[in-house]
Amino acid sequence: MDACRFAVVDVETTGRHPGRGGRIMEIAVVEVQRRAVRPAFETLVDPQGPVSPFAAQLTGITRAALRGAPTFARIA
């Protein structure tokens, strides 16, 4: 494991099902190498839609917190 270098990606979404409107609202990436974890990238993402009450409670990310965040198309 010491020689491995890899990235871990975490996403937070507005809901569980993309087919029912679940959209990405935060992306974070960390780099892991030699047991050291380094932040590589993190951003809120404007989901261009509502945030479910469950998602807001679980993540602490509200629609108000997403104001001014870039859209997924802008950061992809």
Q: Does 52 or 19 have the greater pLDDT score? A: 52
Summarize pLDDT for 5-27 with one digit per residue, the tens: 999 999 999 988 777 878 999 99
Residues 46 and 32: their CA atoms lie apart, in Å, by 27
| DSSP letter, residue 70 | P
What's the fold here for domain 5-71? Nucleotidyltransferase; domain 5 (3.30.420)
* Average model confidence (pLDDT) across the chain: 93
Residue from 41, 32, 39 nearest 76 by CA: 41
